[in-house]
Amino acid sequence: MTALPSLTVKVYPRIALIGQAAWAACAGDDNPFLSYEFLSCLEESGSVGEGTGWLARHVALLRGDEVVAVAPCYAKTHSYGEYVFDHAWANALTRAGGHYYPKLQVAVPFTPAPGARLLCRAGVAYGEMLGALEAVCAELGTSSVHITFCAEDEWLAAGEAGWLTRLGVQFHWDNQGYASFDEFLAALSSRKRKAVRKERREAQAGVRFEARSGAALTPEIWRHFYRFYLSTVERKWGGAYLTPEFFPLLGEKLGERVVLMLAWRGDRPIAGALNLRSGDTLYGRNWGADEDVPFLHFELCYYQAIEYAIAHGLRRVEAGAQGEHKISRGYLPARTYSAHYIRHEGLCRAVGLYLEAERGQIEQEMTLLAEDGPYRKEG
């Protein structure tokens, strides 16, 4: 336990020790990934914890006995499941005779969805939480602290506090008040519009689609979805981060905020895409399929998500990390932010120079990607 002026810093190995009410008072109730329910699902299902390389070390600020700020924080023994890559930094410190792991990761595990990470109640400044994270890093003997997919104002505050700042790129779809999918298509250039229609025809041939939430997410549906999830994991990464217990627990705790897109051939589900929703955003997460159907991934993960957002009046669809192929399907580049505190001075200097060069490249890339956007050019 560390003391700051008028505040006490505590580290909790389980979110349950902070408590749902105290966590929610700091995190709010809109972003599903920052919710007590989502983070506790990860712990209760064994998706994080002993043997996973993700050990909960949630940091809280207390004023007296009252929790006034929290951050979802994990001691990491590797750099997997983060989507902001620092393997080269780890290798550099190892070659210099140092130890990069364990490190502290302020993040939502396995989830590249941008959002707040320093969850402060009124009267608590970001600088106080950043100072607390630095103190915890020193006390635990970790090499560094990494705040990934944070909000822009947190990123700016971290930069002002002397942390290294990094930019990234994702692709998001913004709802311009479309009344239907056809109205969205009408906003695309003729070539892109024709391509989307062709993809949808091929993906939908003999397949029907539906979105399920709440009580419609039965144990049988979750068994099918876990099979889909494993099919993607085995094809891409070779190891499943999330356990079979995670998904039904998520459906139980988050209910209508879980939106599972399903593709059916007859009475058999052949693919699924997991989404979570906030008040104005649909977040795409995991997907998988039993059949290799042309363009099924685009239909289930991108087009069905757009249709759902339009039907439910949502402002945005965030379809996950990376993927320039999303541009031709209506998703435009958006900045993502991360901040990094590295105790080793030599590594900190080297990473700082690298990030400065990388930032220029990303800004240039975003400009070029935006110029090549799919929407009709006025005039």
Residues 208-245 have pLDDT tens digits of 999 999 999 999 999 999 999 999 887 665 578 999 99
CA pair distance 37, 165, nearest whole angstrom: 30
pLDDT at 236: 63
Question: What is the phi/psi pair of residue 36, to 5°?
Answer: -55, -40
153 plus 51 within the same structural domain: yes
Indicate whether 302 and 350 sit together in one domain.
no
Domain count, the chain: 2
Q: Are residues 157 and 181 in the same domain?
A: no
Question: What is the rounded CA–CA span in Å between residue 296 and residue 302?
Answer: 10
Is 182 part of a structural domain of the chain? yes
What residues make up the domain containing 242?
Answer: 176-314
Residue the block writes with tokens 């029907």 = 208
Verify that 13 and 141 share a domain, yes or no.
yes
Q: Give the list of residues 6+ apart from residue 76 with CB closer than 8 angstroms, or none.
A: 53, 54, 55, 82, 101, 102, 103, 104, 105
In a domain, 123, yes or no: yes
Same structural domain for residues 129 and 250? no
- Is residue 99 one of the residues assigned to a domain? yes
Distance CA 118, CA 175 (A): 28
Q: Which residues contact 365 (CB under 8 A, 6 or more apart)?
A: 169, 333
11, 145: one domain? yes
Q: Are residues 18 and 52 in the same domain?
A: yes
Residues 18 and 131 in one domain: yes
Asked if residue 328 is part of any domain, the answer here is no
Same domain membership, residue 205 and residue 104: no
Is residue 164 located within the same domain as residue 197? no
Q: Check which CATH number belongs to the domain holding 59 and give it.
A: 3.40.630.30
**β-strand pairing of 208-212 with 144-150:** unpaired
Residue 196 confidence (pLDDT): 97
Instruction: Let me know if residue 17 belongs to a domain.
Output: yes
pTM: 0.95
Whether residue 228 contacts residue 271, with contact meaning beta carbons closer than 8 Å, is answered with yes
- Between CA 54 and CA 61, with CA 56 as vertex, the angle to 5 degrees is 145
Stretches in the chain below the pLDDT threshold 70: 1-5, 235-238, 379
Residues 156 and 182 in one domain: no
